[in-house]
Chains A and B, each alone.
Chain A
Amino acid sequence: MSLIVQGFLWIFVPAHWTTSATSAGIGNALAQHLALSGLSLLVAGVIALPLGLYIGHTGKGRGVAIVSSNIARAIPTLGLLSILLLYLPDVPFLPSGYTPDIVVFALLAIPPLLAGSYAGLEAIDRQTIDAARAIGMTEWQILTKVEIPLGIALIIGGIRSSSLQIVATVTIAPLFTQITLGTFIADGLAQADYVKVVAGAILVAALALIIDGLFAIVQRFVVPRGVSRRPTKEKSTTARGTALAAKTGTPIQEGN
Protein backbone atom coordinates (compact mmCIF):
# COMPACT_ATOMS: atom_id res chain seq x y z
CA MET A 1 0.00 0.00 0.00
CA SER A 2 2.80 2.39 0.83
CA LEU A 3 3.92 2.10 -2.78
CA ILE A 4 0.69 3.82 -3.79
CA VAL A 5 1.36 6.68 -1.37
CA GLN A 6 4.92 6.94 -2.66
CA GLY A 7 3.53 6.93 -6.21
CA PHE A 8 1.34 9.93 -5.40
CA LEU A 9 4.30 11.73 -3.81
CA TRP A 10 6.44 10.98 -6.90
CA ILE A 11 3.89 12.81 -9.06
CA PHE A 12 4.13 15.92 -6.92
CA VAL A 13 7.90 16.27 -7.21
CA PRO A 14 8.35 19.30 -9.53
CA ALA A 15 11.50 17.83 -11.12
CA HIS A 16 9.46 14.92 -12.46
CA TRP A 17 7.33 17.28 -14.52
CA THR A 18 10.14 18.53 -16.74
CA THR A 19 12.05 16.43 -19.25
CA SER A 20 15.64 15.72 -18.25
CA ALA A 21 18.47 13.99 -20.07
CA THR A 22 17.64 10.68 -18.43
CA SER A 23 13.89 10.64 -18.30
CA ALA A 24 10.73 12.05 -19.84
CA GLY A 25 8.80 14.69 -17.91
CA ILE A 26 5.17 14.26 -16.90
CA GLY A 27 4.27 17.49 -18.73
CA ASN A 28 5.68 16.31 -22.04
CA ALA A 29 4.25 12.80 -21.67
CA LEU A 30 0.81 14.12 -20.79
CA ALA A 31 0.87 16.53 -23.76
CA GLN A 32 1.82 13.73 -26.15
CA HIS A 33 -0.77 11.40 -24.61
CA LEU A 34 -3.49 14.01 -25.13
CA ALA A 35 -2.27 14.95 -28.63
CA LEU A 36 -2.24 11.34 -29.83
CA SER A 37 -5.62 10.61 -28.23
CA GLY A 38 -7.23 13.79 -29.52
CA LEU A 39 -5.99 13.36 -33.10
CA SER A 40 -7.11 9.72 -33.15
CA LEU A 41 -10.55 10.61 -31.80
CA LEU A 42 -10.84 13.37 -34.41
CA VAL A 43 -9.97 11.02 -37.28
CA ALA A 44 -12.34 8.34 -35.96
CA GLY A 45 -15.13 10.87 -35.42
CA VAL A 46 -14.87 12.31 -38.94
CA ILE A 47 -15.28 8.79 -40.35
CA ALA A 48 -17.62 7.09 -37.91
CA LEU A 49 -20.12 9.76 -36.86
CA PRO A 50 -21.50 10.56 -40.36
CA LEU A 51 -21.51 6.85 -41.17
CA GLY A 52 -23.31 5.98 -37.93
CA LEU A 53 -25.87 8.74 -38.47
CA TYR A 54 -26.43 7.48 -42.02
CA ILE A 55 -26.98 3.92 -40.77
CA GLY A 56 -29.26 5.14 -38.00
CA HIS A 57 -31.27 7.42 -40.30
CA THR A 58 -31.72 5.02 -43.19
CA GLY A 59 -31.47 1.70 -41.35
CA LYS A 60 -29.13 0.44 -44.07
CA GLY A 61 -25.94 -1.42 -43.28
CA ARG A 62 -26.69 -2.13 -39.62
CA GLY A 63 -25.76 -5.81 -39.93
CA VAL A 64 -22.44 -4.97 -41.58
CA ALA A 65 -21.68 -2.47 -38.81
CA ILE A 66 -22.38 -5.00 -36.06
CA VAL A 67 -20.34 -7.79 -37.65
CA SER A 68 -17.35 -5.55 -38.36
CA SER A 69 -17.48 -4.17 -34.82
CA ASN A 70 -17.36 -7.68 -33.41
CA ILE A 71 -14.39 -8.61 -35.57
CA ALA A 72 -12.63 -5.38 -34.58
CA ARG A 73 -13.09 -6.28 -30.93
CA ALA A 74 -11.26 -9.57 -31.42
CA ILE A 75 -8.21 -8.09 -33.17
CA PRO A 76 -5.44 -7.31 -30.67
CA THR A 77 -4.47 -3.66 -30.93
CA LEU A 78 -0.81 -4.31 -30.21
CA GLY A 79 -0.55 -6.66 -33.18
CA LEU A 80 -2.09 -4.19 -35.59
CA LEU A 81 0.13 -1.43 -34.22
CA SER A 82 3.33 -3.42 -34.66
CA ILE A 83 2.49 -4.21 -38.30
CA LEU A 84 1.47 -0.67 -39.25
CA LEU A 85 4.55 0.79 -37.55
CA LEU A 86 6.64 -1.30 -39.92
CA TYR A 87 4.68 -0.33 -43.02
CA LEU A 88 3.12 3.12 -42.77
CA PRO A 89 5.27 6.11 -43.71
CA ASP A 90 5.20 9.34 -41.72
CA VAL A 91 2.97 12.20 -42.78
CA PRO A 92 4.39 15.75 -42.98
CA PHE A 93 3.66 18.05 -39.99
CA LEU A 94 3.23 15.11 -37.63
CA PRO A 95 5.98 13.75 -35.36
CA SER A 96 7.60 10.48 -36.38
CA GLY A 97 5.52 7.38 -35.72
CA TYR A 98 2.29 9.33 -35.23
CA THR A 99 0.62 8.10 -38.43
CA PRO A 100 0.43 4.37 -37.66
CA ASP A 101 -0.50 5.11 -34.06
CA ILE A 102 -3.34 7.39 -35.10
CA VAL A 103 -4.60 4.90 -37.71
CA VAL A 104 -4.69 2.08 -35.16
CA PHE A 105 -6.24 4.11 -32.35
CA ALA A 106 -8.82 5.57 -34.73
CA LEU A 107 -9.75 2.08 -35.94
CA LEU A 108 -10.21 1.09 -32.32
CA ALA A 109 -12.52 4.04 -31.68
CA ILE A 110 -14.73 3.54 -34.72
CA PRO A 111 -16.94 0.63 -33.46
CA PRO A 112 -18.19 2.38 -30.28
CA LEU A 113 -18.71 5.64 -32.19
CA LEU A 114 -20.69 3.84 -34.90
CA ALA A 115 -22.73 1.88 -32.38
CA GLY A 116 -23.49 4.95 -30.29
CA SER A 117 -24.69 6.99 -33.23
CA TYR A 118 -26.85 4.39 -34.93
CA ALA A 119 -28.25 3.09 -31.67
CA GLY A 120 -28.99 6.68 -30.63
CA LEU A 121 -31.09 7.25 -33.74
CA GLU A 122 -32.72 3.84 -33.72
CA ALA A 123 -33.93 4.25 -30.15
CA ILE A 124 -36.15 7.16 -31.18
CA ASP A 125 -39.89 6.50 -31.32
CA ARG A 126 -40.78 5.92 -35.00
CA GLN A 127 -43.96 7.93 -34.56
CA THR A 128 -41.94 11.03 -33.73
CA ILE A 129 -40.02 10.74 -36.97
CA ASP A 130 -43.17 10.02 -38.95
CA ALA A 131 -44.72 13.12 -37.39
CA ALA A 132 -41.71 15.22 -38.39
CA ARG A 133 -41.98 13.90 -41.94
CA ALA A 134 -45.74 14.52 -41.98
CA ILE A 135 -45.39 18.20 -41.12
CA GLY A 136 -43.12 18.58 -44.15
CA MET A 137 -39.59 18.44 -42.74
CA THR A 138 -36.90 17.45 -45.24
CA GLU A 139 -34.74 14.40 -44.44
CA TRP A 140 -31.91 16.75 -43.47
CA GLN A 141 -34.17 18.67 -41.10
CA ILE A 142 -35.41 15.41 -39.57
CA LEU A 143 -31.82 14.36 -38.97
CA THR A 144 -30.55 17.64 -37.54
CA LYS A 145 -33.65 18.89 -35.71
CA VAL A 146 -35.26 15.68 -34.51
CA GLU A 147 -32.97 12.65 -34.61
CA ILE A 148 -29.68 14.13 -33.43
CA PRO A 149 -31.18 16.09 -30.48
CA LEU A 150 -33.17 13.04 -29.37
CA GLY A 151 -30.31 10.59 -29.81
CA ILE A 152 -27.55 12.87 -28.52
CA ALA A 153 -27.13 11.09 -25.17
CA LEU A 154 -26.20 7.79 -26.81
CA ILE A 155 -24.10 9.54 -29.47
CA ILE A 156 -22.05 11.24 -26.73
CA GLY A 157 -22.00 7.87 -24.92
CA GLY A 158 -20.29 6.38 -27.99
CA ILE A 159 -17.74 9.21 -28.03
CA ARG A 160 -17.21 8.63 -24.30
CA SER A 161 -16.42 4.94 -24.58
CA SER A 162 -14.24 5.41 -27.65
CA SER A 163 -12.22 8.14 -25.88
CA LEU A 164 -11.65 5.81 -22.95
CA GLN A 165 -10.55 3.03 -25.29
CA ILE A 166 -8.11 5.39 -26.99
CA VAL A 167 -6.68 6.82 -23.77
CA ALA A 168 -6.18 3.30 -22.41
CA THR A 169 -4.48 2.09 -25.56
CA VAL A 170 -2.28 5.16 -26.01
CA THR A 171 -0.84 4.06 -22.67
CA ILE A 172 0.71 0.99 -24.31
CA ALA A 173 2.16 2.96 -27.25
CA PRO A 174 5.55 3.34 -25.43
CA LEU A 175 6.02 -0.39 -25.96
CA PHE A 176 7.03 0.61 -29.48
CA THR A 177 7.92 4.24 -30.02
CA GLN A 178 5.92 7.06 -28.46
CA ILE A 179 6.35 8.85 -25.16
CA THR A 180 3.02 8.88 -23.31
CA LEU A 181 1.98 8.45 -19.68
CA GLY A 182 2.67 4.73 -20.16
CA THR A 183 6.35 5.59 -20.55
CA PHE A 184 6.69 5.90 -16.76
CA ILE A 185 5.33 2.39 -16.32
CA ALA A 186 7.62 0.97 -19.01
CA ASP A 187 10.71 2.86 -17.76
CA GLY A 188 9.94 2.07 -14.14
CA LEU A 189 9.70 -1.65 -14.95
CA ALA A 190 12.95 -1.54 -16.91
CA GLN A 191 14.73 0.24 -14.03
CA ALA A 192 12.95 -1.82 -11.32
CA ASP A 193 11.72 1.52 -9.97
CA TYR A 194 8.26 0.45 -8.80
CA VAL A 195 7.39 3.84 -7.34
CA LYS A 196 7.66 5.24 -10.84
CA VAL A 197 5.55 2.36 -12.20
CA VAL A 198 2.80 3.04 -9.68
CA ALA A 199 3.03 6.80 -10.30
CA GLY A 200 2.53 6.15 -14.03
CA ALA A 201 -0.47 3.94 -13.30
CA ILE A 202 -1.99 6.62 -11.05
CA LEU A 203 -1.53 9.25 -13.78
CA VAL A 204 -3.20 7.03 -16.38
CA ALA A 205 -6.07 6.14 -14.06
CA ALA A 206 -6.60 9.80 -13.15
CA LEU A 207 -6.66 10.83 -16.81
CA ALA A 208 -9.19 8.11 -17.68
CA LEU A 209 -11.46 8.96 -14.75
CA ILE A 210 -11.31 12.72 -15.49
CA ILE A 211 -12.17 12.17 -19.16
CA ASP A 212 -14.99 9.80 -18.24
CA GLY A 213 -16.32 12.30 -15.70
CA LEU A 214 -16.21 15.19 -18.20
CA PHE A 215 -18.17 13.17 -20.74
CA ALA A 216 -20.68 12.14 -18.09
CA ILE A 217 -21.28 15.84 -17.37
CA VAL A 218 -21.52 16.71 -21.07
CA GLN A 219 -23.95 13.82 -21.58
CA ARG A 220 -26.20 15.22 -18.85
CA PHE A 221 -26.19 18.75 -20.26
CA VAL A 222 -26.67 18.12 -23.98
CA VAL A 223 -29.92 16.19 -23.59
CA PRO A 224 -32.79 18.47 -24.62
CA ARG A 225 -35.03 19.50 -21.74
CA GLY A 226 -38.10 17.86 -23.26
CA VAL A 227 -36.36 14.48 -23.30
CA SER A 228 -34.79 14.48 -19.87
CA ARG A 229 -37.84 15.88 -18.06
CA ARG A 230 -39.51 13.34 -15.81
CA PRO A 231 -42.42 11.76 -17.60
CA THR A 232 -45.87 12.19 -16.11
CA LYS A 233 -47.49 9.15 -14.61
CA GLU A 234 -49.63 7.91 -17.49
CA LYS A 235 -46.79 8.34 -19.96
CA SER A 236 -44.27 6.57 -17.79
CA THR A 237 -44.70 3.12 -19.34
CA THR A 238 -43.82 4.32 -22.84
CA ALA A 239 -41.00 6.45 -21.49
CA ARG A 240 -39.54 3.43 -19.75
CA GLY A 241 -39.87 1.41 -22.91
CA THR A 242 -37.97 4.08 -24.80
CA ALA A 243 -35.31 4.30 -22.12
CA LEU A 244 -34.87 0.55 -22.23
CA ALA A 245 -34.64 0.61 -26.01
CA ALA A 246 -32.20 3.49 -25.79
CA LYS A 247 -30.01 1.35 -23.59
CA THR A 248 -30.31 -1.82 -25.61
CA GLY A 249 -29.96 0.01 -28.89
CA THR A 250 -32.81 -1.68 -30.70
CA PRO A 251 -35.34 0.02 -32.91
CA ILE A 252 -38.90 0.27 -31.70
CA GLN A 253 -41.18 -1.46 -34.15
CA GLU A 254 -44.10 0.86 -34.36
CA GLY A 255 -46.18 2.12 -37.31
CA ASN A 256 -44.84 1.47 -40.75
Chain B
Amino acid sequence: MYSIWDNFFGGSYPIWYLTLDHIGLCVIPILVGFFVSIPLGYLASRSRGARSVLISVFSILYTLPSIVLFVVVPVTLGLAILDPTNVIVALSIYAVAIMVRSSADAFSSVSADVRESARAVGYSPAQRFFQVELPLAGPVLLAGMRIVSVSTVSLATVGVFIGIPSLGLLFTDAFNRQIPLEAVTGIVAVLILALIFDVILSTIARILLPWNRRESRRRAARTASKAVVM
Protein backbone atom coordinates (compact mmCIF):
# COMPACT_ATOMS: atom_id res chain seq x y z
CA MET B 1 0.00 0.00 0.00
CA TYR B 2 1.40 3.37 -1.05
CA SER B 3 1.56 5.89 1.77
CA ILE B 4 2.04 9.57 1.07
CA TRP B 5 3.57 10.09 4.53
CA ASP B 6 6.20 7.42 4.05
CA ASN B 7 7.07 8.77 0.63
CA PHE B 8 7.04 12.45 1.46
CA PHE B 9 10.67 12.66 2.52
CA GLY B 10 11.64 9.01 2.11
CA GLY B 11 11.22 6.10 -0.30
CA SER B 12 12.80 5.85 -3.74
CA TYR B 13 10.78 8.81 -5.06
CA PRO B 14 10.34 11.32 -2.22
CA ILE B 15 7.55 13.72 -3.11
CA TRP B 16 9.13 16.74 -1.41
CA TYR B 17 12.47 16.49 -3.18
CA LEU B 18 10.84 15.80 -6.54
CA THR B 19 8.70 18.91 -5.96
CA LEU B 20 11.88 20.93 -5.37
CA ASP B 21 13.38 19.49 -8.59
CA HIS B 22 10.19 20.40 -10.35
CA ILE B 23 10.27 23.98 -9.07
CA GLY B 24 13.90 24.19 -10.14
CA LEU B 25 12.88 23.29 -13.71
CA CYS B 26 10.01 25.80 -13.83
CA VAL B 27 11.16 29.05 -12.25
CA ILE B 28 13.78 30.09 -14.82
CA PRO B 29 11.57 29.38 -17.87
CA ILE B 30 8.73 31.44 -16.37
CA LEU B 31 11.08 34.37 -15.67
CA VAL B 32 12.69 34.09 -19.11
CA GLY B 33 9.23 33.97 -20.66
CA PHE B 34 8.45 37.30 -19.05
CA PHE B 35 11.69 39.22 -19.51
CA VAL B 36 12.52 38.06 -23.04
CA SER B 37 9.06 38.40 -24.48
CA ILE B 38 8.55 41.98 -23.27
CA PRO B 39 11.12 43.60 -25.61
CA LEU B 40 10.14 41.17 -28.40
CA GLY B 41 6.44 41.80 -27.89
CA TYR B 42 7.01 45.55 -27.75
CA LEU B 43 8.93 45.36 -31.02
CA ALA B 44 6.12 43.29 -32.55
CA SER B 45 3.52 45.82 -31.45
CA ARG B 46 5.47 48.71 -33.03
CA SER B 47 6.30 47.21 -36.41
CA ARG B 48 4.10 45.04 -38.60
CA GLY B 49 7.12 43.37 -40.21
CA ALA B 50 8.71 42.46 -36.87
CA ARG B 51 5.37 41.15 -35.72
CA SER B 52 4.92 38.75 -38.60
CA VAL B 53 8.52 37.49 -38.38
CA LEU B 54 8.44 36.99 -34.60
CA ILE B 55 5.00 35.40 -34.54
CA SER B 56 5.86 32.95 -37.32
CA VAL B 57 9.26 31.99 -35.87
CA PHE B 58 7.78 31.33 -32.45
CA SER B 59 4.74 29.53 -33.77
CA ILE B 60 7.05 27.11 -35.60
CA LEU B 61 9.00 26.57 -32.36
CA TYR B 62 5.70 26.05 -30.56
CA THR B 63 4.67 23.48 -33.19
CA LEU B 64 7.66 21.29 -32.32
CA PRO B 65 6.79 18.70 -29.67
CA SER B 66 8.58 19.28 -26.35
CA ILE B 67 10.51 16.02 -26.68
CA VAL B 68 12.14 17.31 -29.85
CA LEU B 69 13.43 20.39 -28.06
CA PHE B 70 14.59 18.33 -25.07
CA VAL B 71 16.79 16.36 -27.48
CA VAL B 72 17.82 19.04 -29.96
CA VAL B 73 18.81 21.63 -27.32
CA PRO B 74 21.71 19.59 -25.87
CA VAL B 75 22.94 18.64 -29.33
CA THR B 76 22.95 22.28 -30.41
CA LEU B 77 24.39 23.67 -27.18
CA GLY B 78 26.84 20.81 -26.70
CA LEU B 79 25.43 19.79 -23.31
CA ALA B 80 25.12 16.27 -21.96
CA ILE B 81 21.74 14.83 -22.88
CA LEU B 82 20.91 14.13 -19.25
CA ASP B 83 21.62 17.70 -18.10
CA PRO B 84 18.51 19.37 -16.53
CA THR B 85 19.58 22.60 -18.29
CA ASN B 86 18.17 21.08 -21.50
CA VAL B 87 14.70 20.96 -20.05
CA ILE B 88 15.09 24.48 -18.65
CA VAL B 89 16.18 25.86 -22.04
CA ALA B 90 13.43 23.99 -23.88
CA LEU B 91 10.73 25.13 -21.44
CA SER B 92 12.06 28.69 -21.73
CA ILE B 93 11.68 28.56 -25.51
CA TYR B 94 8.08 27.43 -25.06
CA ALA B 95 7.39 30.10 -22.48
CA VAL B 96 8.69 32.81 -24.81
CA ALA B 97 6.74 31.31 -27.72
CA ILE B 98 3.48 31.60 -25.76
CA MET B 99 4.30 34.94 -24.19
CA VAL B 100 5.52 36.88 -27.27
CA ARG B 101 2.03 36.82 -28.71
CA SER B 102 0.41 37.91 -25.43
CA SER B 103 2.94 40.65 -24.94
CA ALA B 104 2.50 41.95 -28.51
CA ASP B 105 -1.25 42.07 -27.87
CA ALA B 106 -0.69 43.72 -24.50
CA PHE B 107 1.32 46.59 -25.98
CA SER B 108 -1.02 46.90 -28.96
CA SER B 109 -3.88 47.34 -26.50
CA VAL B 110 -2.39 50.60 -25.21
CA SER B 111 -4.26 53.31 -27.09
CA ALA B 112 -2.28 55.51 -29.47
CA ASP B 113 -3.87 58.61 -27.91
CA VAL B 114 -2.37 57.76 -24.54
CA ARG B 115 1.08 57.25 -26.09
CA GLU B 116 0.84 60.54 -27.98
CA SER B 117 -0.27 62.38 -24.83
CA ALA B 118 2.71 61.02 -22.93
CA ARG B 119 4.99 62.31 -25.64
CA ALA B 120 3.20 65.62 -25.73
CA VAL B 121 3.72 66.25 -22.01
CA GLY B 122 7.42 65.60 -22.49
CA TYR B 123 8.05 61.95 -21.50
CA SER B 124 11.24 60.52 -22.98
CA PRO B 125 10.83 57.20 -24.86
CA ALA B 126 12.18 55.28 -21.84
CA GLN B 127 9.90 57.11 -19.39
CA ARG B 128 6.97 56.57 -21.71
CA PHE B 129 7.71 52.85 -21.89
CA PHE B 130 8.22 52.26 -18.16
CA GLN B 131 5.69 54.74 -16.77
CA VAL B 132 2.89 54.59 -19.33
CA GLU B 133 2.96 51.65 -21.73
CA LEU B 134 4.26 48.88 -19.46
CA PRO B 135 1.78 49.57 -16.62
CA LEU B 136 -1.12 49.83 -19.05
CA ALA B 137 -0.11 46.58 -20.74
CA GLY B 138 0.11 44.93 -17.31
CA PRO B 139 -3.26 43.17 -17.11
CA VAL B 140 -2.90 41.48 -20.50
CA LEU B 141 0.71 40.55 -19.66
CA LEU B 142 -0.54 39.00 -16.43
CA ALA B 143 -3.11 36.90 -18.30
CA GLY B 144 -0.36 35.63 -20.60
CA MET B 145 1.96 34.86 -17.69
CA ARG B 146 -0.71 32.81 -15.95
CA ILE B 147 -1.00 30.59 -19.03
CA VAL B 148 2.79 30.36 -19.27
CA SER B 149 3.15 29.29 -15.64
CA VAL B 150 0.41 26.64 -15.76
CA SER B 151 1.67 25.07 -18.97
CA THR B 152 5.32 25.17 -17.83
CA VAL B 153 4.51 23.39 -14.56
CA SER B 154 2.53 20.74 -16.44
CA LEU B 155 5.08 20.33 -19.27
CA ALA B 156 8.05 19.90 -16.92
CA THR B 157 6.74 16.39 -16.10
CA VAL B 158 7.60 15.32 -19.67
CA GLY B 159 11.28 15.69 -18.73
CA VAL B 160 11.14 12.16 -17.27
CA PHE B 161 11.10 10.87 -20.83
CA ILE B 162 14.74 11.87 -21.13
CA GLY B 163 15.47 11.02 -17.49
CA ILE B 164 15.33 14.47 -15.87
CA PRO B 165 13.86 14.17 -12.34
CA SER B 166 10.59 15.99 -11.67
CA LEU B 167 7.18 15.09 -10.26
CA GLY B 168 6.75 13.18 -13.52
CA LEU B 169 8.85 10.36 -11.99
CA LEU B 170 5.85 9.54 -9.80
CA PHE B 171 3.87 8.73 -12.95
CA THR B 172 6.38 6.33 -14.46
CA ASP B 173 6.99 4.68 -11.10
CA ALA B 174 3.23 4.38 -10.52
CA PHE B 175 2.89 2.57 -13.83
CA ASN B 176 5.92 0.32 -13.34
CA ARG B 177 4.91 -0.71 -9.83
CA GLN B 178 1.14 -0.64 -10.49
CA ILE B 179 0.34 1.97 -7.81
CA PRO B 180 -2.43 4.27 -9.10
CA LEU B 181 -2.37 6.27 -5.85
CA GLU B 182 1.19 7.37 -6.56
CA ALA B 183 0.13 8.79 -9.93
CA VAL B 184 -2.83 10.55 -8.30
CA THR B 185 -0.40 12.02 -5.75
CA GLY B 186 1.76 13.27 -8.60
CA ILE B 187 -1.17 14.89 -10.40
CA VAL B 188 -2.38 16.58 -7.22
CA ALA B 189 1.15 17.80 -6.48
CA VAL B 190 1.44 19.28 -9.99
CA LEU B 191 -1.95 20.97 -9.65
CA ILE B 192 -1.05 22.41 -6.23
CA LEU B 193 2.25 23.68 -7.59
CA ALA B 194 0.48 25.29 -10.57
CA LEU B 195 -1.99 26.89 -8.17
CA ILE B 196 0.79 28.26 -5.96
CA PHE B 197 2.58 29.77 -8.98
CA ASP B 198 -0.70 31.30 -10.07
CA VAL B 199 -1.36 32.81 -6.65
CA ILE B 200 2.16 34.26 -6.59
CA LEU B 201 1.66 35.84 -10.02
CA SER B 202 -1.71 37.32 -9.08
CA THR B 203 -0.33 38.67 -5.83
CA ILE B 204 2.59 40.35 -7.58
CA ALA B 205 0.14 41.77 -10.10
CA ARG B 206 -2.16 43.06 -7.35
CA ILE B 207 0.75 44.89 -5.74
CA LEU B 208 2.13 46.30 -8.98
CA LEU B 209 -1.20 47.04 -10.67
CA PRO B 210 -3.47 48.36 -7.91
CA TRP B 211 -5.61 50.22 -10.47
CA ASN B 212 -6.39 46.99 -12.34
CA ARG B 213 -10.10 47.65 -12.72
CA ARG B 214 -12.86 45.63 -14.24
CA GLU B 215 -12.45 46.89 -17.80
CA SER B 216 -8.81 45.90 -18.12
CA ARG B 217 -9.49 42.60 -16.43
CA ARG B 218 -12.14 41.87 -19.02
CA ARG B 219 -9.62 42.64 -21.73
CA ALA B 220 -7.19 40.26 -20.06
CA ALA B 221 -9.82 37.53 -19.94
CA ARG B 222 -10.29 37.91 -23.69
CA THR B 223 -6.60 37.32 -24.31
CA ALA B 224 -6.77 34.28 -22.09
CA SER B 225 -9.61 32.74 -24.09
CA LYS B 226 -7.70 33.48 -27.27
CA ALA B 227 -4.71 31.54 -26.07
CA VAL B 228 -6.94 28.50 -25.77
CA VAL B 229 -7.59 28.71 -29.50
CA MET B 230 -3.90 29.13 -30.18
A: residues with CB less than 8 A from B are 1, 3-4, 66, 69-70, 73-83, 85-87, 111-112, 115-116, 119, 154, 157-158, 161, 164, 167-169, 171-172, 175-176, 182, 185-186, 189, 194, 197-198, 200-201, 204-205, 208-209, 212, 247-250
In the complex, residue of chain B having the shortest beta-carbon distance to the beta carbon of A3:
B75
Chain A hits for B66, CB < 8 A = 168
Contact B72 A204 (CB under 8 A): no
Count of B residues near A, CB < 8 Å? 46
Nearest 8 Cβ contacts at the A-B interface: A168-B65, A79-B187, A201-B71, A115-B228, A82-B175, A76-B157, A82-B171, A82-B183
Chain B contact residues: over half helix, strand or loop, or mixed? Answer: helix
Contact A176 B175 (CB under 8 A): yes
Chain B hits for A115, CB < 8 A = 225, 228-229
Of B12-20, B131-139, B161-169, which stretch is located at the interface? B161-169
Chain A hits for B187, CB < 8 A = 75-76, 79-80, 83
The number of residue pairs between A and B whose CB atoms lie closer than 8 Å in the complex comes to 150
- The one of B60, B161, B175 in contact with A172, judged by C-beta atoms closer than 8 angstroms, is B161
Chain B hits for A248, CB < 8 A = 222-223, 225-226
Instruction: Determine the distance from Cα of A212 to Cα of B64 in the docked complex, in whole angstroms.
Output: 10
Q: Is B191 positioned at the interface, with any CB of A under 8 Å from its CB?
A: yes
In the complex, residue of chain B having the shortest beta-carbon distance to the beta carbon of A154:
B229
Digit string of B67-99 for contact with A (CB within 8 Å is 1, else 0)? 110011001100001000000000000000000
Given A75-B187, A79-B171, answer yes or no on A86-B154 (Cβ-Cβ < 8 Å).
no
Chain B hits for A167, CB < 8 A = 65
- The one of B68, B162, B178 in contact with A189, judged by C-beta atoms closer than 8 angstroms, is B162
Given contacts A185-B161, A209-B60, A250-B225, 13 further A-B contacts (CB under 8 A): A1-B76, A75-B191, A77-B154, A81-B171, A82-B174, A83-B187, A115-B229, A119-B225, A164-B63, A164-B65, A167-B65, A172-B161, A175-B172
Contact A197 B81 (CB under 8 A): yes
Contact A78 B171 (CB under 8 A): yes
Instruction: Determine the distance from Cα of A76 to Cα of B26 in the docked complex, in whole angstroms.
Output: 14
- The one of B184, B223, B229 in contact with A158, judged by C-beta atoms closer than 8 angstroms, is B229
- The one of A69, A81, A87, A198 in contact with B228, judged by C-beta atoms closer than 8 angstroms, is A69
In the complex, residue of chain B having the shortest beta-carbon distance to the beta carbon of A83:
B183
Chain A contact residues: over half helix, strand or loop, or mixed? Answer: helix
Contact A73 B186 (CB under 8 A): no
Instruction: Determine the distance from Cα of A130 to Cα of B183 in the docked complex, in whole angstroms.
Output: 50
Please list 30 pairs of residues, one from A and one from B, whose beta carbons are closer than 8 Å in the complex, sorted by A's number: A3-B75, A69-B228, A70-B228, A73-B147, A73-B151, A73-B154, A74-B191, A76-B157, A77-B154, A78-B157, A79-B184, A81-B171, A82-B172, A86-B175, A112-B228, A115-B228, A116-B229, A119-B226, A172-B161, A176-B172, A182-B161, A186-B161, A198-B72, A201-B67, A201-B68, A204-B65, A208-B63, A208-B64, A209-B64, A248-B225
B: residues with CB less than 8 A from A are 60, 63-68, 71-72, 75-76, 81, 147, 150-151, 153-154, 157-158, 160-163, 167-168, 170-172, 174-175, 178, 180, 183-184, 186-187, 190-191, 194, 222-223, 225-226, 228-230
